[in-house]
Structure 1
């Protein structure tokens, strides 16, 4: 028993982590949905082997509830549209090479008209499969029934078995991106303090450019998290979570672009000042200190964005504010040192000025007041878009809120009168 506990203590955390892996979750949910759909279709469908039901359930079930609902509706529309096209053609012509061509082109046109998006080819596939059988009428409606069974089972699996919320995974991706930015910025600062060959500076520039691929992966993880927050009954204030994460990634992306420009500036400095150091003393040490402080602020910003507990968020915001204040003071000190150097030797003044400007941009992007303004702007934009997209629903919500306010005012007035 003691050995079993030791074994579970060793492998248990890994099993729990694996159980939340999107690939494993998708495999288990899809297998369960397809099996249940097949069992139900065996009882309700006249077909002896109703494989359309598990196929539809397998394709409808997605990792998030939002994608399941939207995908399921479009998939059902695509299959039903294809079946209707096949029924219409079967009443007029048989299956020949030219009728098959007409069925395909008609199904593709209908797919675009009913707006099934990525499932347009499935309209043609359904039409061809139904047109190719002998008893077209019975098989067509059986296929429609099996499709509805599979879609219903797929939707029910996500409604009864609430899908996981992928906010933590997206937060880990954002935090990992921030730490990679920090490591690269620290290396740039260390090399700026000494004599750096142009080839070595160019390597840092290539590393900064490769961060674009990391941003693409983080964006994919964030999209999955955003979908998991939509229409999920376990989530409150899902819109706020989505906007906080999205604006945080946008800020980190801007910082990554500016870091790439910093690496470009340092590379140009290495070429122009070879074999001398990039910065005359003591400017090099101050540049290293400045980039180190900005790098720490980038990680603190990621922690602030991905922290959901209010107490932790407040401490992260205080730490970020302190680090940005210190970075601003170091930047001002570097500006004074570089100004004295430029007065003695103005050959690289434009590159020194560019470095100061780029450091200022990152500091401004990470500023907490700038982040707060951005959050309010995104919330206002989303509310405005919702009102424009659904004016009737917006008016109904406003009426409900107004009636609730009137009821609260009346209750407060009644309490004061008593």
Structure 2
């Protein structure tokens, strides 16, 4: 019982929401304590508020959020000082400053902190000691941002690769379970309603993909600017391309479920969805396809080389078994179509959709896709560094010297 409780507690501590709650609470408290010593305000609540906003789950998001947050407050303070020099506080001046703040906020690239520009301007415009209060607010914002950033530098946030990997594997298992349920209902007199229910389940996997994408974005951010990760780019691309492949497979499964639903609609009353021998062969094929999906997800989320070799071996075995089953099903469906050509398009689409899944899971296809993404990322990095080199050259006057020499 104690082991189960301890395991549940460890999972609880790994939850991103729990981690963010604890870290934000500690950082906000520290920011308030520092602001009490440095700010003239008796209750410098802007500092803990800023720390609360900038201490995100990852170091990269903390840094980018800090910059946008400080930028929004400074812009709001400058707007308020400019307005206060020509007008006082009234209903029309308040509306005018809100309009100006929200408009200017769109151009200074503060993203989700656009409203913070207007909030800062309103708070500063309403105080009596304008200049002192304004710059005290800027100081508190800087304190909160610096404390939040230093907190993440000293107490490095966790890397969420394992969490993203677990979500990818869970998505593959959901797809596998759906394929198994579809396979179990291929024989017999499957009603249209049941086939349509499987189609609805396939469509519901879209939400699971969105959840996995959110977890993966969080993992990608945790790898950026992280000194503990030496191959962050490769890890990001492996997970991202793996999710892209699973997303394509889920779409194909949805099309497969739609083809079976249409097949159930077009059969005659009392007719089986598929002959028993074809149903058994197709059930075996879908079972291997589901196993290949899970093996593929394990392969792309495995960090240890020995475990990766084992996962690759399992995936190869599942794909080989699926290809052999696919050939048997193709021969059976061909005979079926020759005897009953009425629904030959739907029978052919079943094989075409399974072929698409097997092609996406193929190891050569996977390696080629990963290499393409690595090349694309390398080109992007090279262009970025080339641009930075040109900027440095202009700053140093190298471009001017070259033109002068010419």
* Cα distance in 2 for residues equivalent to 1:16 and 1:338: 51
Q: Which one of 342, 367, 376 corresponds to residue 362 of structure 2?
A: 367
1:193 CA drift (Å) = 2.7
C-alpha contact 2:188 2:276 (8 A) present in aligned 1 = no
Query: Which stretch has the larger CA shift, 30-39 or 193-202?
Result: 193-202
1:180 equivalent to 2:182? Answer: no
C-alpha contact 1:34 1:54 (8 A) present in aligned 2 = yes
3-state SS of paired residue (2:17):
helix
1:12 maps to which residue? Answer: 6
2:297 maps to which residue? Answer: 302
1:24 maps to which residue? Answer: 18
How has the CA–CA distance of structure 1 residues 91 and 171 changed in structure 2, closer, same or farther, with 3 Å as cutoff? same
Q: Which one of 269, 272, 281 corresponds to residue 277 of structure 1?
A: 272
1:236 CA drift (Å) = 1.7
C-alpha contact 1:386 1:394 (8 A) present in aligned 2 = no
* Cα distance in 1 for residues equivalent to 2:103 and 2:147: 29
* Cα distance in 2 for residues equivalent to 1:86 and 1:353: 69
* Cα distance in 1 for residues equivalent to 2:313 and 2:188: 33
The number of aligned residues is 390
* Cα distance in 1 for residues equivalent to 2:5 and 2:260: 46
Alignment of 1:53-64 (within 5 A): 53-64=47-58
Q: Which one of 58, 62, 65 corresponds to residue 59 of structure 2?
A: 65
Q: C-alpha offsets along residues 180-225 of structure 1, whole Å, 9 cap, x if unaligned? A: 1001101111111332111111111111111111111111111111
C-alpha contact 1:193 1:288 (8 A) present in aligned 2 = no
2:155 maps to which residue? Answer: 161
Q: CA RMSD in A?
A: 1.5
1:381 equivalent to 2:376? Answer: yes
User: What TM-score do the two structures reach when normalised by structure 1?
Assistant: 0.91
1:410 maps to which residue? Answer: none
1:283 CA drift (Å) = 1.2
C-alpha contact 2:27 2:48 (8 A) present in aligned 1 = yes
1:289 equivalent to 2:315? Answer: no
Query: Which stretch has the larger CA shift, 381-390 or 100-109?
Result: 381-390
1:391 equivalent to 2:386? Answer: yes
2:117 maps to which residue? Answer: 123
Structure 2, unaligned stretches of length 5 or more?
Answer: 392-406
* Cα distance in 1 for residues equivalent to 2:20 and 2:321: 47
1:100 CA drift (Å) = 1.3
* Cα distance in 2 for residues equivalent to 1:144 and 1:237: 38
Q: C-alpha offsets along residues 126-182 of structure 1, whole Å, 9 cap, x if unaligned? A: 000000000101100111111110100010110000001111111111111111100
* Cα distance in 2 for residues equivalent to 1:104 and 1:395: 40
Q: Which one of 255, 261, 264 corresponds to residue 258 of structure 2?
A: 264
1:404 maps to which residue? Answer: none
Alignment of 1:86-165 (within 5 A): 86-165=80-159
* Cα distance in 2 for residues equivalent to 1:115 and 1:390: 23
* Cα distance in 2 for residues equivalent to 1:394 and 1:348: 63
2:37 maps to which residue? Answer: 43
C-alpha contact 1:181 1:256 (8 A) present in aligned 2 = yes
C-alpha contact 1:193 1:284 (8 A) present in aligned 2 = yes
How has the CA–CA distance of structure 1 residues 176 and 135 changed in structure 2, closer, same or farther, with 3 Å as cutoff? same
2:27 maps to which residue? Answer: 33
Alignment of 1:338-349 (within 5 A): 338-349=333-344
1:395 CA drift (Å) = 8.5
C-alpha contact 1:40 1:149 (8 A) present in aligned 2 = yes
* Cα distance in 2 for residues equivalent to 1:394 and 1:237: 24
How has the CA–CA distance of structure 1 residues 276 and 394 changed in structure 2, closer, same or farther, with 3 Å as cutoff? farther
2:400 maps to which residue? Answer: none
C-alpha contact 1:133 1:139 (8 A) present in aligned 2 = yes
1:393 CA drift (Å) = 4.5
C-alpha contact 2:39 2:136 (8 A) present in aligned 1 = yes
Query: Which stretch has the larger CA shift, 251-260 or 386-395?
Result: 386-395
